[in-house]
Amino acid sequence: MSARIADWLFDLGNSRLKGAWLDGRTLSNPVSLAWDASEFDTELRTQLQQWPAPDRILIASVVAASRVDRLRTMLQAWPQAQSHWLSSPRQGCGITNRYRVPERLGIDRFLAMAAARDIAQGASVVVVGCGTALTLDAVDADGVQQEGMIAPSPELMLRALHAATAIDDTNPAAFASGSTDDSARALRQGCTRAAAALVQWYHARQCDSNVPPLYLHGGGSAALRESLEGEAAARARLINDAVLRGLVLWAAQK
């Protein structure tokens, strides 16, 4: 293990753990592991042992306690480091949080807004996360969070249809990954187009004399972007590792 000292950053999402160590403002040696990976603990431990020793560990988590405990146990190997499990503040990273109880705003949403506004150099932005859920947030030019929304992502819509209908009984290919079956295409198109319509409507609501850029992040963001039309499509940009990029901003302010 290197003798260097560094900040470690972790994004614990519903599907994956992402992490990196911070070299200045650069995310170094990133790791991304699905929680259900068969060698999750071994692969994560191997990766962390190659990073510089941590002085401070910043963790943004939206996952269940059982998954949090897996990382806590792993980090016991570095007892000298200060671990910070973050929650959304009233103000920070250029964002003013308008939730009545600030910490109830998901830390992933807060950090993604911060990352998007930083990329836009302080301009107003619309930020959409497409993972397990579809999250829609807006930030005005003063950094004030506007009314947000949470809806099922296209993937979650598909899973709900799978659980609540008998489509699978009469057509086993309908929900198969990569299937070219007509029902499979209809289901995927319907769910993706429904999400795209909500994103377009939400983006249009934020337009006045200014048309804000639309930043998309999360595992389903690329497919969602392909389904957008009009101003939303023209203004859409993808952000890779939005939560980690927000954590870089958090690390710089503390």
Is 172 a domain residue? Answer: yes
Q: What is the mean pLDDT of residues 199-224?
A: 94
Annotated active-site residue in 11, 108, 137, 241: 108
Collect all residues with Cβ–Cβ distance below 8 Å to 126 and sequence separation of at least 6: 136, 137, 138, 202, 203, 206, 212, 213, 214, 215
Is 228 a domain residue? Answer: yes
At 120 the pLDDT is 96
At 2 the pLDDT is 46
Is 115 a domain residue? Answer: no
At 60 the pLDDT is 98
Residues 140 and 220 in one domain: yes
Known catalytic residue: 108?
A: yes
What are the distances in angstroms from CA 76 to CA 9, 33, 80?
16, 19, 9
Is 188 a domain residue? Answer: yes
Q: In this structure, what token pair is assigned to residue 193? A: 């187009």
Residues 138 and 221 in one domain: yes
- Residues 215-250 have pLDDT tens digits of 999 999 999 999 999 999 999 999 999 999 999 999
Domain range for residue 175? 122-241
Q: What is the mean pLDDT of residues 183-209?
A: 94
- Residues 155-175 have pLDDT tens digits of 999 999 999 999 988 898 888
Is it the case that residue 179 has pLDDT exceeding 90? Answer: no
Residues 128 and 236 in one domain: yes
Count of structural domains within the chain? 2
Residues 231 and 166 in one domain: yes
At 172 the pLDDT is 87
At 1 the pLDDT is 42
Residues 71 and 159 in one domain: no
CATH code, 57? 3.30.420.40
Is 97 a domain residue? Answer: no
Is 55 a domain residue? Answer: yes
Q: What is the mean pLDDT of residues 7-35?
A: 96
Q: What is the mean pLDDT of residues 130-139?
A: 96
Q: If we measure between CA atoms, which residue out of 186, 189, 192 comes closest to residue 152? A: 192
Average pLDDT, the chain: 94
